[in-house]
Amino acid sequence: EDKLQDQVGPTIKSLKDAGIKVWVLTGDKIETAINIGYSCELLTTELYQVVVDVTGEGRVEAELQRCRKELEARSTGALIISGASLTYALRETLRPLLLEVGDLCSVVLACRVSPKQKAEVVQLVREGKTNITTLSVGDGANDVNMITEAHIGIGIAGKEGQQAVRASDYAIGQFSFLRRLLFVHGREAYRRNSVLVCYNFYKNVLFVMPQFWFGCVSFFSGQPLYDPWIYQMYNIFYTSLPIVLYAIFDRQVANLDVLEQNPQLYKDGMTGRLFNTKVFWTWVSYACVQAAYIAIITFGFMESTGFQDTGRLAGLWTSGTVAYAAVVIVANWKLAHFSWAHYWFSVTAIFLSILLFFISIVIITNIKFTNLYCDLSLIMANPLTWMSFILILGLSVVFDMGLFREQIPKVGLKGERPDHEDEMGDSLESGFLPSIFSGYKKASSWDHTGYAFSAEMGHTPQLISRARGATYYAQSVVESRGSLSTR
């Protein structure tokens, strides 16, 4: 008797809770596939079901029209279609109608489908819905076409060989691992990369815009603001390492199980909440505003009042260097502010980046043929320099904590998740300075046969079955007894 893998039902339910639409492609009969759908929580008694099991292009079209009318009157439903009907539904004349009906459903269950039809279904969704990403999951050679057709392919190492694994982008040992792959690693990778892209634009706009504001008062003469000796080191030494460490090690919660247990948090990526046109231009506009008050404060302080007994004012290169220093401090402060996890090496990298700038200033001001020669006292010993830094950093704190708070990626905890906000808040790693490896538990080990469908005693809980396939649509994941495809 066939037996489902451990945690297949909860995994399917989590995928549906995350707003993922599930398309299942299997080689079973309709009756068998429906029974399996109920056992793995793919289908429920509350889910309205429409069945298409006819032949002939005209009859299939009529059935799909009927299904569309019935589903439009309901919030969601499940489409169950046979392989014979799918043959006609995948023709050019009916493809838009099939996709429209499937879009009205949260679950699509296709039965008695061939490997070629699996790939065609993935192609249908991929070409018809260009704004979404398809993910196919399979375990056998009959799933290879489906896996390679999707944007992302996942192979399950199982009894049917390694063909699916070799053709996939990622390989997992059992279907339940898909939940952690998506909700933990997928979501965190999306969050970190979204911030990585936006921050890199932000810090470069912040660096360049003071020169633009300076051009407004210098009649755009082309006079540079920064000393050429330190100009090229901004992205190489002063702001590079902290963002790299952030993109690799930052974690929004200390206990990653919280993300796995709350699939609704995955919707941030599906809706593009952390990376869209509005978010991007918010970062850019913030950098422009910040660069404006950096230029105003540094030039207003450094070139309006004399410091030495002679009353000598700071020159262009001195003022430009102070503005440069303010940009480095603010860019690194920004990174420290929106980071969720602070480890000893990430904090050290931020301070070393700022310290490296001042060390380079000390060196350059002692080189005779540089523009900053003998200007060290005008920069470091001038109290106006430090007053500028304090005022600029204070304004940055106000902007980060107040006006531009919604632009910071911490919005990921707001909105639709009031029931989990306290739990998420307790798990935050803000101020967490120990090693990143502390707090991890070593996973218990068990014997693993390498079979995806083994249910032998003492081995990893799996499912015993002949090959089946499944396709996930609209960032959905589907589980059939043999192969899966997710979208």
Contact by Cβ (8 Å): 273, 264: no
Tokens of residue 467, six digits: 């090959």
Stated as kind and residue range, the H or E segment containing 86 is helix 83-89
Model pTM score = 0.78
DSSP 361-403: HHHHTT-TTSTTTT-HHHHHS-HHHHHHHHHHHHHHHHIIIII
Give the span between the Cα atoms of 56 and 60, in whole angstroms: 6
Q: How do residues 309-357 score in pLDDT, each as one tens digit?
A: 556 666 777 888 889 999 999 999 999 988 999 999 999 999 999 999 9
Average pLDDT over residues 417-442: 38
Give the span between the Cα atoms of 358 and 348, in whole angstroms: 16
pLDDT of residue 307: 58
Which range, 73-77, 242-246, 405-409, has the best average confidence (pLDDT)? 242-246
Residue 384 has pLDDT above 50, yes or no: yes
CA neighbor of 377 nearest in space, from 326, 318, 325? 318
Give the span between the Cα atoms of 100 and 68, in whole angstroms: 8
Q: What are phi and psi of 185, to 5 degrees?
A: -70, -40
Round to the nearest angstrom and report the end-to-end CA distance of the chain: 30
Residue 81 has pLDDT above 80, yes or no: yes
Give the span between the Cα atoms of 8 and 40, in whole angstroms: 6
One-letter amino acid of 339: S
Average pLDDT over residues 95-108: 93
Q: How do residues 457-477 score in pLDDT, each as one tens digit?
A: 343 333 333 333 333 333 333
